[in-house]
Amino acid sequence: VYLPALRGGFIWDDDDYVTANATLGSLDGLRRIWLEPGATPQYYPVTFSSFWLERPAWGLHPSGYHFVNILLHAANAILLWRVLKRLAVPGAWLAAVIFALHPIQVESVAWITERKNVLSGLFYLLSAWSYLRFVGIGGQGTQNSEPRTQNYFYACSLVFFICALLSKSVTASLPAALLLVLWWKRDKFKWKRDAVPLIPFFVAGLGMGIVTIWMERHSVGALGADWSLSFTERCLVAGRALWFYAFKLAWPDRLAFNYASWDIDAGSWWQYLFPAGALALLIVLWARRAKIGRGPVAAVLFFALTLFPALGFVSYYPMIYSYVADHFVYLASIGLIALLAAWISDFEISQLKFQAPARIGALTIFLILALLTWRQAGLYKDLKTLWTDTLWKNPNSWLAHNNLGSLLVEEGKLDEAAHHFERALRLNPAYDDVHYNLGVVFAQKGKPGEAIACYREALRLNPESAQAHNNLGLALAGQGDLDSGIAEFHQAIMIKPDYAKAHNNLGLTFAGKEKWDAASTHYIEAIRIDPGFADPYNNLGVLQARQGRLADAQRNFERALAARPGSAPLHANLARTLSQRGDFAGAKAHYEEALRIQPDLEEARTGLLQAKQRLHP
């Protein structure tokens, strides 16, 4: 059912995690992944190490990364079956199949960035299985085993748990979940026997949780008005999110990449019904545990406990877009899925005459889930498909309007892009990226005044936007205000010292003021930062050719062409330099290639005639 995902491409955030991740592909990058928090979007070194290992195998072909995600999800389903079987949960296989096929899991599997979910899930379940072996629950256990055997499973569980934390810190809830399981399965819960061995797990989870919270605030940027909710408001978010996820698990219709963000109002009485309803359900299950057993209350508590990091009590960056997302419920879904499977299995056993209809019903559920997952996985084909589907399901998603507009800009559909940006601004006027993107549209449409106004508004909202400073500098320099342009480029570089485009643009502006040494310095710095960036090689070559350093110019034009082989102007620049150095045959070849790429390039046409004349006077 995940074949459509296997054919999918890279989507949102996959650039930060894979395609533009500078830590992948070198031994020093692996060192940075582990030893430099901030070198990657989050400090999840096991997850990024998996990408580092795969980069030589798949390169920038997304199918390999998708394939690994699918394998991890399949492994997690098998592990879930084994864990639930050890816990003697009726219908363990049924729960595992539902977990494997449920369409709410598609976001975790089909989105390469969510490798952190499926990989941390693998270690989470391995740790849980090992701990159950250690405490002797299910099977023969290790209760009566030698201490060496018990220590082995305990050590394995702790190591797997640390690997889970280093894949994604949301797995910090595991020791609390294990305590819950022990309370459920033990006739008599003893703190010394059941809780003390989990102390190292709690310490590790707390430590990694603190690291992640710090990264979310100071590296990712989860600070400001969008995250300044009161405790009461956070309780309202949590209560509503619990029912939202439970409903989507029961009725997985209109699953979206970005859901509508709720208006949380502590003065609105009906919003208190969500947390009150969740609390009432727990009270009822607790009160009836003697009659129905501890299983239902344990399952519901597991669901809520595992969701806790994503319920809004701790600020995380995606809260700016929505309080809920499908991938948040990947592990938490186990609680409700296992409870449903147990009820179905108990009913089938107790009502023998309904066995055949129950099995037909189960197969029907499998088929429906498989078809829904197949359809949902196909939405991850590419970004345009994903954002278009998001807007169909959530027309007021300013995130989707903005990102779809950016794709339309790349396609040259500027009027359509402007429509989406303007819609995004009506929905969220304080979103600086939309002002910036609208400025890009105006700049490309030849309206520098409007572009400058948009860039300035983006900077008013977010003075630390290096991109906005850079583009404002381009617009100002393009209108002849070179000094103001230089000031903006310097500001962009102060915010982002490794901003190769700003260094290149600063070099061009200094060249416009005939400050050749300063221009050369910034071109060289841009090349140092990004050796695959063609523009500074070309610009440095132009400068060197003007200075009569033709050999250096030729070398830089060749490097520019290696970075961008399909550029007609670059071929023409190299051809002109070769002609000046007396290599008319080489010049002729590059002029011909330039005209093949761009037949209307007049400079190449004139140069080719001159080269032919010099070759055949």
**Which of 335, 359, 333 shows the shortest CA–CA distance to 345?**
359
What Rg, from alpha-carbon coordinates, does the chain have? 29
Q: Give pLDDT tens digits for 15-29.
A: 999 998 889 988 999
Residue 37 pLDDT? 86
CB atoms near residue 440 (< 10 Å): 20
β strands within 432-583, DSSP E:
none
Q: Give pLDDT tens digits for 199-214.
A: 999 999 999 988 888 8
Residue 235 pLDDT? 95
Residue 351 pLDDT? 59
Has residue 229 got a pLDDT over 80?
Answer: yes
Q: Give pLDDT tens digits for 577-616.
A: 999 999 989 999 999 999 999 999 999 899 889 888 888 7
**Which of 186, 171, 90 shows the shortest CA–CA distance to 136?**
186
Has residue 59 got a pLDDT over 50?
Answer: yes
In Å, how far are 95, 266, 571 from 577, measured between CA atoms?
A: 69, 70, 10
| Secondary structure of residue 554 in the 3-state scheme | helix
Structure tokens at 445: 């449409």
Residue 20 pLDDT? 86
d(CA 46, CA 568): 43
Residue 49 pLDDT? 96
For the stretch 101-124, what's the b/e string if a residue is b when 16 or more beta carbons lie within 10 angstroms of its beta carbon? bbbbbbbbbbbbbbbbbbbbbbbb
φ/ψ bin of 38: left (φ > 0), alpha (ψ from -120 to 50), beta (otherwise): left
Residue 352 pLDDT? 57
CB atoms near residue 533 (< 10 Å): 18
**Which of 54, 89, 52, 95 shows the shortest CA–CA distance to 77?**
95
Q: What's the mean per-residue pLDDT of the chain?
A: 91
The mean pLDDT value for 328-348 works out to 91
With a pLDDT cut of 70, the percent of the chain lying above it is: 96
Q: Give pLDDT tens digits for 115-165.
A: 999 999 999 999 999 999 998 887 654 455 566 778 899 999 999 999 999
d(CA 91, CA 345): 5
Q: Give pLDDT tens digits for 519-564.
A: 999 999 999 998 889 999 999 999 999 999 999 999 999 999 999 9
The mean pLDDT value for 162-177 works out to 96
pLDDT band at 318 (very low <50, low <70, confident <90, very high): confident
Q: Give pLDDT tens digits for 88-113.
A: 999 999 999 999 999 999 999 999 99
The answer to whether the predicted template modeling score (pTM) of the entire model surpasses 0.85 is: yes
| Secondary structure of residue 401 in the 3-state scheme | helix
For the stretch 592-605, what's the b/e string if a residue is b when 16 or more beta carbons lie within 10 angstroms of its beta carbon? bbbbebbeebebbe
d(CA 277, CA 235): 12
Has residue 483 got a pLDDT over 60?
Answer: yes
CB atoms near residue 262 (< 10 Å): 15
Structure tokens at 468: 């906005």
CB atoms near residue 363 (< 10 Å): 10
Selected residue with higher pLDDT from 187 and 382: 382
Residue 142 pLDDT? 47
d(CA 526, CA 539): 11
The torsion angle over the Cα atoms of residues 250, 253, 254 and 255, rounded to 10 degrees, is 50
Q: Give pLDDT tens digits for 448-468.
A: 999 999 999 999 999 999 999
Residue 136 pLDDT? 86
| Secondary structure of residue 24 in the 3-state scheme | coil
Q: Give pLDDT tens digits for 243-301.
A: 999 999 999 999 999 999 999 999 999 999 999 999 999 999 999 998 999 999 999 99
